[in-house]
Structure 1
Amino acid sequence: MKDWLRKHPQVRTIRVAAADLNGQARGKRVPARFAENVVKSGTRFPFSVLNLDIWGEDIDDSPLVFEQGDQDGVLKPTERGFMPMPWLEAPTALLPIWMFRENGQPYEGDPRHALNAVVQRYKARGLTPVCAVELEFFLIDDSGKTMQVPASPRSGKRRKAAETLSIRALDAFDTFFTDLYDACEAMDIPADTTTSETGLGQFEVNLMHCDDPLRAADDAWLFKMLVKGLARRHGFAASFMAKPYPEYSGSGLHTHFSVIDEKGDNIFDSGGPKGTAMLRHAVAGCLNAMHDSTLIFAPHQNSYERLVPGKHAPTSIGWGYENRTTAIRIPAGNPAARRIEHRVAGGDVNPYLMLAAILGAALSGIEDQQEPPAPITGNAYSLDLPQIPDSWEAAIDAFEHSDTLYRFLPKELIRNMVQTKRQELHYIAELTPEERVELYLDTV
C-alpha cells in the first residue's frame, strides 16, 4: 500500500471509507503525508456510523449510541488497498476500510464482514463461489423541476424514449462511457459489456466474474460510487435508484454465481443443460430464504415500485431454465459455465449484503440438501406462486421475524437493519413523492 502512494506522488489527499448498511461510503479525508498512519494503525469512528439512516442521522434508541456511550470501532484497510478517484478534480486516492472491535474481532454490524463470514463457511467445505454482477442505472438531467434524459453531448438532442440495445444511445454518450471505462481500468474494476436498456436513459454494465465474492462486492460498491461521481463531472446525474420513472422499467442488480470445488470444477455442471443436484439444492436455498430476505434486495421505499408484474422484475418466488420472468433463472450455454442468476435485487442495494444473502441462502440449501419445486415454464407473472413482499413495511416485518436469516446473517446486523428501516419508514412517510425522488437520486 505504501508503494502505491510512492508511485503516485501527485496524490494530495486520501479518503478512507467503509460501507454502511445502506451502502453509503462513510469515512474521512486525510492529507496524503499522514496516510502511512492509517495504513499502519487504522482509523477510528463510532460503531453507530455504520448504522445511520439514509439521511446520515443516528438511529433513535439505538444501543450503539447513548446506551454504549457511542463507542469507537477500529477501521483497518481492506486487502483492496489504494486506488484513484477519477471523478474528483484534485488527484485523490481512496482506501477502503472495514470495522473491527478493540480486541481485533470483526464488528458484526459491518456488511463486508457479514459477507466474509459466509465466504469462510464455503471455504470450510472446500468450496469457492464465483460471482458476476450486472448493474443497471439511469443517466438523468435533474437540473430542472422535472427529471429527463440528458441531452446528448454529441447532438444536443434528447431521446425521450426507451432504446433497448441501441448502439445510437451508446454512441450519444460515448464521451462519458469512454471516461468510465478508463476510470474502471485505473481502479481495477473489471467492467465488461455495456448495453442500453428499456428505461429512459437507462444503461447496464456487466462486471466480469470473480472467484472472490468480497472483491466482486467491492467492485460493485466502487463502481456505483464511480458512475455517480463521474456523471456529475459530465454535467448530469447517474442514479441506481430502483424506479425513478413510474412509466418505465426500473433498475436491477442481477447476480450470476456458480461454485467450484478444490479441484476447480463447477459443482453445478452435470455435463448437460439441467445441472446437478447441488444446483437444485442451491436454488432451493435461495427460494426458501427469498421472502424473508427481500428487505436486502429491496431496501428502500422506492424499491417496491420496481417489483410490479410485467415490468421485467420478479414478483413471485420461483425458478426456471432460461426464463427471465422468474426470480431465479438458470441460463443456457456451455455446461461448464452452468450457474444461477438471482434477479430480485434492485440497483439500490448494498452489494455486500446482497451477496451475503444470496450466497448464504444457497449454502444453506446445499448443506440441508433442500429440493426446489418444479421449474417454471412460461410466464411466471400469470401463475399462482408464493409472492415476494409487495411493500416495504411487509418486507421489514418478514426480515425482523425470520427464523431463516439467522442461519447466515449476524444477529446484530439484523437488529441494526430493522431499526434503520423502521426509522426511514417513519420519516419518509412525511415526504412528498418529489422529495423522495430527490432523496434517493444521489444516495442509493
Structure 2
Amino acid sequence: MTKPPHASNKIADRSESEAFFADNPDIDAIDIIFTNMSGVPRGKRLRQHEVLGVYENGRFLPGSVLVVDIMGQDCEETGLVWEDGDADRLCRPIPGTLVRTPWLGDNAAQFTTSYYELDGTPNDLDPRHVLGRVIDKLAEEGLTPVVAVELEFYLFEMENGRPVIARGLTTGEKPNGNDVYSLRELEDFKPFFDDLYAACDAQNIPLESGISEYAPGQFELTLRHKADAMRAADDGVMYKRIVKGVAAKHGMVASFMAKPFAEQAGSGMHLHVSMADKDGNNAFASDDPEGSPLLRNAIGGMKALLADSMAIFAPNANSFRRFKANSYAPVAPTWGVNNRTVSLRVPAGPPPSRHVEHRVCGADANPYLAVAAVLAAMHHGMVNKIDPGPAIVGNGYEQAPKDTRLPNHWAAAIEAFKNSATLRDYLGDRFVTHYCTVKEVEMARFMAEVTELDYAWYLNNA
C-alpha cells in the first residue's frame, strides 16, 4: 500500500490559483517565496498569468539559493554553485499559501514553495522537507505533534545607521525603561497592531494575544497551536514577514535579531509542543503537573540533544549574546514545572493542556529547522525512554550543573552539530553537512570584518 504524501510534499494544483484569482481579479503583483537554511525568505515577483503556470508546472529556480548565506551570498564551498553548474531545481507551491499581502498594496499577494529535484524527489536541503522527515518518524509511532510558535521582536527607528527604540505612533513618545506587560505601550502602537492583526487575518495566520515584553520597544504575540507542525512552522515564517512589512508601512523596522542591545533583553522563539495520539487525545495529559511518563521521556530526549542542536537554535554570531544567567534565556539543559528559569518548561494548566515549552531558540532561528530539531529530540527521548532526571524547583540558573552548560559560542555549536550522529540520522546526513558548511562560511566572513570595537580595544592597547 502506498503511503499518502506527507504535509511537506503536498503540492497545490492550478485549480487553487484559479479560484484565488476568480475571487481576487485585481491581484497582479505576486511574490513567489522560498525559505532556505538561513531562514530568510527569497524569491521573485510574478504577474497573474505566470502564477497560474507555476501552479500547473512549477517554477525553475537555481539550486544554489538553497545554500546562500544569511546575506544572500553564494557559498561555493558547498559544491552547489560552480561544480553543479548552478543548476535549476523545481519549486512547487504549498497549498493554502496564496494570499493577499495588504501592506504591499491592494494588488499584491504571495505564495510559498518547496524545492524538488527535477525527477520530483523532495530536495533534502529544503527546511520543509527536513521537518517532514521528522514528522514522518513520529507518525510511525502513532503520534501527531501539536505545535505553537511564540516570537519576540523589537520595533526600531534608524538614526545615523543604528537602531533606536521606535517612538509610539499615537503619542510620539519613546518607551522609557522596562515596563513589562505595559498596556500603555500596547496602546501607543495600536495602529501598528491593528494592521498586523488585519494582515494576519488576510493570510489565515492565527494570531492571538500580545504583550509588551521585558524591554522597551519589545513585544511578543502568540500564534495559536495547531495539530499540524508543518503548518505551524509555515505560520511562523509567514508571520515574521508580515511583522516586518507592516512595521515598514508605519515607518519602523521590526527586528527578530536575538540580541540587539547588550543592556536589554534578547528576543526568543518559544515553541510549545504536545503530542496527540491516534484518537486525537493529548498523550502528555496527566493529573501529575510533570505530565505523563511519555512527556518526561520527551523532555529527556530534548535535554540529551540540546547541546548538539544549538547550531539550529542559535544560528548566528549575535545569537550567543542572548544567553546569560538571570536573563530569561536558558544556559543549560534544565527542566521544571511552571518555571521560566529553565530551558524546558511544563506550563501550569489543567491536565488535558499538559505540554512543554522549549525556551532555548532565539527569534533569529529558522522555524522549520527549530521545530524539526525539537521534534527529533522528543522522538529520540520517547523511543529510548530517556529519564530527564528530577525537575528543578527554584532558580534554574543557580542549580544548573556547570559540566552540562550549552555551547557558548558559534564555533562550538557548529562543531557539536556536525559531529551529532543522532541528528544526522533525523535531519539527514547531507543536510547537516551542508548546513555546517554554510555556517562555517558565514562565521569566516563575519570574523574577517574589523569592527569599531577592534579599534577601541586594540588600536592603542595591543
TM-score range, shorter chain: over 0.9
TM-aligned CA deviation for residue 434 of structure 1: 7.4
Q: 1:171 to 1:150 in 2, by over 3 A?
A: same
* Contact residue 51 and residue 58 of structure 1 kept, 8 A: yes
Distance 2:97 2:210 in 1: 27
Distance 2:94 2:73 in 1: 26
Q: 1:147 to 1:160 in 2, by over 3 A?
A: farther
Q: Does 1:342 align with 2:345?
A: no
The one of 118, 121, 127 aligned to 1:102: 118
| 2:4 counterpart residue number | none
Q: Which ranges in structure 2 are unaligned for 5 or more consecutive residues?
A: 1-15, 454-462
Distance 1:235 1:67 in 2: 43
TM-aligned CA deviation for residue 216 of structure 1: 0.2
Distance 1:316 1:216 in 2: 26
* Contact residue 334 and residue 400 of structure 2 kept, 8 A: no
Distance 1:434 1:45 in 2: 39
TM-aligned CA deviation for residue 146 of structure 1: 4.0
* C-alpha RMSD of matched pairs (Å): 1.4
Q: Does 1:47 align with 2:58?
A: no
Greater shift in the superposed pair: 300-309 or 55-64? 55-64
Distance 1:431 1:91 in 2: 41
| 1:318 counterpart residue number | 334
| 1:306 counterpart residue number | 322
**SS class of match (1:37):** helix
Distance 1:425 1:272 in 2: 45
Distance 2:347 2:45 in 1: 44
TM-aligned CA deviation for residue 67 of structure 1: 1.8
The one of 150, 154, 162 aligned to 1:138: 154
| 1:362 counterpart residue number | 378
* Contact residue 12 and residue 90 of structure 1 kept, 8 A: no
Distance 1:82 1:60 in 2: 33
Greater shift in the superposed pair: 56-65 or 388-397? 56-65
Superposed CA offset, 1:220-263 (max 9, x none): 00000010111011001000000101101100000011001111
Aligned pairs, how many? 435
**SS class of match (2:299):** helix
Distance 1:433 1:331 in 2: 42
TM-aligned CA deviation for residue 55 of structure 1: 1.3
Distance 1:60 1:365 in 2: 37
| 1:212 counterpart residue number | 228
TM-score by length of 1: 0.95
TM-aligned CA deviation for residue 60 of structure 1: 2.7
* 1:28-427 alignment, distance < 5 Å: 28-385=44-401, 386-427=404-445
Greater shift in the superposed pair: 132-141 or 405-414? 405-414
The one of 430, 441, 449 aligned to 1:431: 449
Distance 2:28 2:95 in 1: 22
Percent sequence identity over matched residues?
38
**SS class of match (1:73):** strand
TM-aligned CA deviation for residue 90 of structure 1: 5.0
Letter in 2 for 1:321: V
Deviant stretches of 4+, over 6 Å: none
Greater shift in the superposed pair: 401-410 or 234-243? 401-410
Distance 1:214 1:381 in 2: 33
Q: Which ranges in structure 1 are unaligned for 5 or more consecutive residues?
A: 436-444
TM-score by length of 2: 0.92
Greater shift in the superposed pair: 357-366 or 383-392? 383-392
TM-aligned CA deviation for residue 332 of structure 1: 1.2
Letter in 2 for 1:392: W
TM-aligned CA deviation for residue 367 of structure 1: 1.1
* Contact residue 12 and residue 31 of structure 1 kept, 8 A: yes
* Contact residue 149 and residue 160 of structure 1 kept, 8 A: no
Distance 2:161 2:452 in 1: 9
Greater shift in the superposed pair: 265-274 or 41-50? 265-274
* Contact residue 33 and residue 113 of structure 2 kept, 8 A: yes
**SS class of match (2:231):** helix
**SS class of match (2:38):** coil
* Contact residue 116 and residue 214 of structure 1 kept, 8 A: yes
* Contact residue 76 and residue 82 of structure 2 kept, 8 A: no
